[in-house]
Amino acid sequence: MSSSVQQKIQYLRTLPAIRERCNKVHTLAQEGKLEYFEYHPEKEAGAVNFCTKIIQRDFGTNVESIPPHGRWRHLDAGHPRIEPLIAKWKSAPFPPDNKEICRRLLDLFLVSVLLDAGAGNVWKYTEHSNDEVFSRSEGLGVASFHMFSEGFFSGDKGQPHRVDARGLSRVTPENTGISMQASEANPMSGLEGRAMLLFKLGNALRSNPTYFGKDARPGNLVDYLESQSTVSSAETRSVHVSVLWHALIDGLQAIWPTSRTALGGVPLGDVWPCAVLATSSPQPLADGDDFVPFHKLTGWTTYSLLEALQKVLKWEIAGLEHLTGLPEYRNGGLLLDLGVLSLRAGAIATSFYPDPSSNIPRLPPSHPAIVEWRAMTVIELDRIADGIRARLGLTSAQLTLAQVLESATWKGGREIAAQKRPETKGPPIDIESDGTVF
């Protein structure tokens, strides 16, 4: 493999590459050159207004109380679960210190994120202690919490509340389906892919002791990050977000399907060719120059793990401005449902409309329309966040992108979907989930 290809692979795995490549797609949108979508920037003000009203409804002027976007919220769906679990650990005869508490939360959050790819419009999870029923991300979160609590991911009989390679080696689609209450009557999209991700995670943990330690658990990232951190004169520990990002991208690269986009024979994960980048170029592009990286699950993991580091260990995280919005169907659906984007008439073949009575296409993640949609979502989330801040008179430090995702765009995407499609509450474009992307 040439050094130029190696450099390109490394680049496509970085955080800056996501915005840079998505910006290229957005520039084409401004010129009316997208193949599948029309861009209506005049509708952005309406999207900003819609999102701002949700923030004001739920938080009033108390924006500092908005939590960051992270898996913690879904694990607490319906009622708190994380804080009571931490309290239980602290009241044990031999309580763990804060560093071990953080390790356990990183264990839980990582597997919960990997189980979070879309479950479809039908699947539901019933919490037996109170008969509460949850679906989608909350259902997956609550299910993963109980799997963790019951030792599903642990290879240590003396400590069920952990995730390690030994425990993950026992994961199968069958026992995952049972634990997540999936059945013919309660079907879950992407069950096999979801279980395979967890099984592969065990191998990745074992193969990367630098990040995950000799006992091969995600929580040992705490120790790796500490080794790469600095301590200020005020005794505050700080680590750059790129350190965690690189550990996740490098340490987990083996878990992604090998059938994904590759460069130089190396699978790249959630990276896809964008046809319009190639067709709009005045000259032929080099291999990989039309690729757009998203790394959505890695981004979702990063947001989720950072919250534990900040809350439990009180660490400062530098470089948060490099994190992007998450290109998934709630954030992207908001743009379509509010008219910022619209599908070009006839752009998608009728074969992708499984229900003749519906105007909702069903597409695989690799479809070029999905790649365009996701690229536009990344940049539009930045633009909407800027618009909300301008409307409220706030800086990016006072209202972070993570807070906007949590309080406005993701929530707004769900709410507008429920208004427009009350039967399914699904997105305006249905994505075929294999359990490894969305």
| CA separation for the pair 417, 268 (Å, rounded) | 31
Residue-level pLDDT at 146:
97
| CA separation for the pair 96, 16 (Å, rounded) | 37
Indicate the pLDDT class of residue 357, thresholds 50, 70 and 90.
confident
If you compute the radius of gyration of the chain from its CA atoms, what whole number of angstroms results? 21
pLDDT in tens, 228-284: 999 988 899 999 999 999 999 999 999 988 888 999 999 999 999 999 999 999 898
Residue-level pLDDT at 385:
98
| CA separation for the pair 151, 158 (Å, rounded) | 10
Residue-level pLDDT at 381:
98
Residue 4 pLDDT more than 70?
A: yes
Residue-level pLDDT at 257:
84
Among 67-71, 114-118, 358-362, 422-426, the least confident range: 114-118
Residue 398 pLDDT more than 60?
A: yes
Residue-level pLDDT at 136:
87
Residue-level pLDDT at 256:
86
Residue 434 pLDDT more than 80?
A: no
Q: Token pair 């769900």 is at which residue?
A: 414
pLDDT in tens, 166-218: 999 999 999 999 999 999 999 998 888 889 989 999 999 999 999 999 999 99
pLDDT in tens, 43-68: 999 999 999 999 999 999 999 999 99
Residue 436 pLDDT more than 90?
A: no
Mean pLDDT of 137-154: 96
Indicate the pLDDT class of residue 438, thresholds 50, 70 and 90.
low
pLDDT in tens, 80-94: 999 999 999 999 999
| CA separation for the pair 69, 403 (Å, rounded) | 6
Residue 36 pLDDT more than 90?
A: yes
Residue-level pLDDT at 44:
98
pLDDT, averaged across the chain = 94
Residue 121 or residue 118, greater confidence? 121
pLDDT in tens, 291-342: 999 999 899 999 999 999 999 999 999 999 999 999 999 999 999 999 999 9
